[in-house]
A and B are shown apart, each in its own frame.
Chain A
């Protein structure tokens, strides 16, 4: 455990509590920048997917993990972002403008999706947002003049001024930059009144109101912020795939987002990234382990999906605090060594298992 002598409030509002933390993050970012040098194109493209999914899950984390509002319709915001950006760039709008516009449009629609959250919560909200997802999916299919319906549409490659992002490595750097900016913005919001208001709503709506926090304003705002980031992620996603159709934005994607933040650990931005990485790399891991399995097992059809599901189930059962929870425990263990007590996290674990959202 570390104790810190604070001399002024500036120290209290720092992004990084310890100087060492800052250097660790710096090292991490430099590491991320160097990765493509040692990895092949395929893995690099997987890393791009992790970055894009992480941008979306940071958005969903703000809504579900921090504000306590579930959404099963985030694929719709993802899709709105992808189509907006695809359509705009096809009409000659520069990508640098199309990207934020995609986010803003998703965010604007998010405001309206937040309205049911004023009356609904938990499972009912889940179903309502799911309904929204279906509607958007249907619109994407039917509005053929704009979206080309089920035939899907081609998406132009990204360029910003003279810079092009056509190779895997270039695109990876683009997604990495957007991800870092996203996390910084999310972190800043969380250490400001808006972020605290969101956490307040999650923990006690009654008390939040008694603090002067307007449910109408902050719930819709949480939806809008969340949708904004997810829309931005969608924009990148479309340009990465170079071809999109409504199939890419079904409810399965919404559920995948939810799985990511739950496995990563609700209520932490780290968790949003860990969860995305886990879900994207899990199938690869399963394929890799296939070589070591007995032949009759490895040849079973549907093995990947079954293992994938099983892993997720086991994870939730044994580690409800998610990957971030494991990380924190390990860190705590080393900081407290040799005073670490096994029961330290028991209460927290029980709390996370209890139904709250």
Chain B
């Protein structure tokens, strides 16, 4: 069995079929990318995995467990973390606090111990901070460490979001258009980080991305989606060169490559 499997998932909003019997598998330690024009249903897949939406049919199997019916927070508890297309940070908290929130699933303290700030809570806090500092070093966020997130530039916020997801020490990381709004330099960093995380930590990625250069550079396999239907699946070269995919992107070719 594969590490993460999606079995024939479908969902509709009113009359709109947003996803129609979509299936794919992500193997341990690979970068699996989902591409497709605007409104294809890419973000919807993520929202279904996170249990923000209820599937009409189908299942997600993560490490041999069906997670299509669990509560949203359980998905994260099991080791799936994500970033959001339109940045969902804790805006009135500092960068370090955002990263520490990523550590939530590793907590061992209870409310009573916390109210007393007992030695075990102190040890746990120090541990969390060590992890958070590692992430800060890795993503070069030292300069922003104690700043409030709301005032940071867009690209930095995107990086903080990636950092928060990393601080969770997940096994599967879902990234929704991580490069949007980033400049050239930030994008190159991102490409480097993803490859590095994959190789060093063995974390698997499910990536939604509009920038085809990035997709080609870092993906092991690619899936193309259009109007909620899978139109191609395979290696980056196969999928990006697929006639159906070219057709789906035609007309917005300019927008997507410039993206």
Taking beta carbons and an 8 Å cutoff, which residues of A are in contact with B? Answer: 9-10, 12-13, 15, 185, 188-189, 191-197, 199-200, 202-204, 206-216, 221, 225, 267, 347, 351
Contact across chains for B91 and A212 when beta carbons are under 8 A apart: no
**Beta-carbon contact of B84 and A206 below 8 Å:** yes
- B interface: dominant SS: helix
Q: B72 contacts A267, CB within 8 Å?
A: no
User: Of A189, A194, A210, which one neighbours B50 at CB under 8 angstroms?
Assistant: A210
Q: Are A347 and B73 in contact (CB under 8 A)?
A: no
From B88, B91, B104, B109, contact of A206 by CB (8 A): B88
- Give the 5 A-B CB pairs with smallest separation, nearest first: A212-B76, A192-B114, A212-B105, A207-B88, A203-B90
B82 contacts A by Cβ under 8 Å: yes
In the bound complex, residues from chain A placing their C-beta under 8 Å from that of B82 are 210
Given contacts A13-B126, A212-B73, contact A267 B101 (CB under 8 A): no
Q: Which residues of B contact A225 (CB under 8 A)?
A: 111
Contact partner of A196 (CB less than 8 A), chosen from B89, B97, B121, B122, is B97
Interchain CA distance A196-B164 in the complex, whole Å:
13
- List 7 A–B pairs whose Cβ atoms lie within 8 Å, in order of A's numbering: A191-B117, A193-B104, A209-B76, A211-B73, A211-B105, A213-B104, A267-B92
Q: Is the CB of A188 within 8 A of B117?
A: yes
Write out, one digit per residue, whether chain B residues 150-184 have a CB within 8 A of any chain A CB (1) or not (0).
11000000000000100010000000000000000
A residues near B93, Cβ cutoff 8 Å: 196, 199-200, 203
> In the assembled complex, how far is the CB of residue B199 from the closest CB belonging to chain A, in whole angstroms?
25
Closest chain B residue to A224 by CB distance?
B111
For A191, what are the chain B residues with a Cβ–Cβ distance below 8 Å?
117, 125
**Which of these, A212, A221, A351, contacts B168 with CB under 8 Å?**
A212
In the bound complex, how far is the Cα of B84 from the Cα of A202, in angstroms?
Answer: 17
A162 to B121, CA, bound (A): 36
Decide: B114 and A193 in contact? CB cutoff 8 A. Answer: yes
Most chain B beta carbons < 10 A, residue from A192, A200, A214? A192
B41 within 8 A of A: no
**Is the Cβ of A209 less than 8 Å from the Cβ of B116?**
no
Q: Roughly how many angstroms separate A195 CA and B74 CA in the complex, as a whole number? A: 20
In the complex, which residue of chain B has the Cβ closest to the Cβ of A196? B101
CB proximity of A166 to chain B, nearest CB, Å: 30
Residue pair A188, B115 in contact (C-beta under 8 Å):
yes
Chain A residue contacts of B54, Cβ below 8 A: none
Partner of A204, one of B50, B76, B89: B89
Q: Is the CB of A214 within 8 A of B73?
A: yes
Min CB distance A73 to B, Å, is 22
Q: Is B71's CB within 8 Å of the partner chain A? A: yes
Q: Decide if B198 is an interface residue (CB 8 Å cutoff).
A: no
B93 to chain A, nearest CB (A): 6
**Chain A: minimal CB distance from B157 (Å):** 12
- Alpha-carbon distance A98/B128, docked complex (angstroms): 38
Is A9 a contact of B73 with CB atoms below 8 Å?
no
On chain B, the residues within 8 Å of A267 by CB distance are 92
Q: Which residues of A contact B168 (CB under 8 A)?
A: 211-212
Complex contacts, B71 vs chain A, CB 8 Å: 214, 216
Is B37 interfacial (CB-CB < 8 Å)? no
Within 8 A of A (CB), among B4-25: none
